[in-house]
Structure 1
């Protein structure tokens, strides 16, 4: 098999250019027409706001990922073999991740060292999927995590003036915690049980040493960060819900004093 076929390279480059266009052109144009609050944001906040084009990427590859898991019998039966649809999905994600190199240009606004490590780790693993056609099931399975992105991107409720105790913020906080847990934490037993089932088999040794390192080490690295982020999200969600509950408890007391 020729590594990095012309089709895969074309999809990756097209994905990169598309997300750059969405970030620099489409998002600012749409935001000014949809929300008046966008014009009042600082330059830093506008960069953060426009970076939420990741929602489009998340929905696109997430839905594609589910279709493959449910309907692509070849990938599900042979988790180590050569993919076709998976390579297309991963190529879209690769172009998107490379487009995030703009992080370094806007480091003061959206730079985050864990975010960079997360994406570089993913790119390292995706090299073996795109270049060698290996481990398609596991690469596709990891893309389930993208379903948490839309909720994570709703941070701009606060930027637009909604207090943390407002219903939109609280509803999104709970949804973010639940979805993040379901697609990044709860699926770990399924993922690692499938990995254990493949480990040591003939198919396992068909993957070169570098591919095995990329597969196992990147999975562990990504999930350590997922657990760290889950802890932060859960704590934040708990604090907001507790604060809202305390505010409701205080309100009747204050009303009783004024009567």
Structure 2
């Protein structure tokens, strides 16, 4: 069901508030946290690496919100009963937070003081933003949006790994343990979710409810899922190869 004018105004405010909040975290909150916890290591980073570290803290904040809320909604809101048309305000508002967070991170990426190769990240963000939009505007595929939110479980370990590397903790035990946690959570939350997603899509494919969804929403839903899961499989291959090399090097110094 399309969003009402009153709810749409609430959702727009939600997106804008999230953008402002995450920009504040990036520019002011994150630097203060790093200077409080690891002042010497943070001050020793280049400007670009400081920017990446602050962006990482924003991503961890968003991932924590997305994973915990998505998991809760999947358990309590019976989204699986109607995978196409469950009209759930909480899921729509969660989409606003997701969209705002990725808009904010896109601004950071386009600022030019972050990742050198931004194209894969921009494509990933674009898929997320369009997926959030169809959930907000049309109220479709709430179950799949929350299922996608489970992917965020691995994000804290991913960004912690980058920060630990940049501040010189590459040879520490915490770096190794975090890397293994990253590999495990990436597999559980991203790779294992793929067959669940595929099975769920096949259960609704060709049904009357699915046929009622307009072509734009179907294209965003299927295209976004293919793009994100292709990236996930590609990234997992790189992560697994890297973990294997580290384990072998530790076993045979």
TM-score by length of 2: 0.93
Q: Please, which runs of 5 or more residues in structure 1 have no aligned partner?
A: 248-259
1:160 and 2:167 aligned: yes
Cα 1:110/1:143, change in 2 over 3 Å: farther
Cα 1:15/1:111, change in 2 over 3 Å: farther
One of 39, 42, 62 as aligned partner of 1:57: 62
CA deviations on 1:202-241 (whole Å, 9 max, x unpaired) are 1001100111111111111110010000001111111111
Larger Rg: 1
Map of 1:253 onto structure 2: none
The alpha carbon displacement at 1:163 in A equals: 2.9
Map of 1:173 onto structure 2: 179
SS at match of 2:231: helix
Map of 2:72 onto structure 1: 67
CA deviations on 1:187-210 (whole Å, 9 max, x unpaired) are 111111111000000100110011
Question: In the aligned structure 2, how far is the partner of 1:87 from the partner of 1:148?
Answer: 23
Deviating more after overlay: 153-162 vs 57-66: 153-162
Q: How does 1:8-23 map to 2 (within 5 A)?
A: 8-23=11-26
Question: In the aligned structure 2, how far is the partner of 1:121 from the partner of 1:221?
Answer: 7
Question: In the aligned structure 2, how far is the partner of 1:61 from the partner of 1:209?
Answer: 27
CA RMSD of aligned residues (A): 1.4
The alpha carbon displacement at 1:112 in A equals: 2.2
The aligned length equals 245
Cα 1:20/1:111, change in 2 over 3 Å: farther
Map of 1:24 onto structure 2: 27
Cα contact 2:186–2:236 (8 A) shared by 1: yes
The alpha carbon displacement at 1:161 in A equals: 1.6
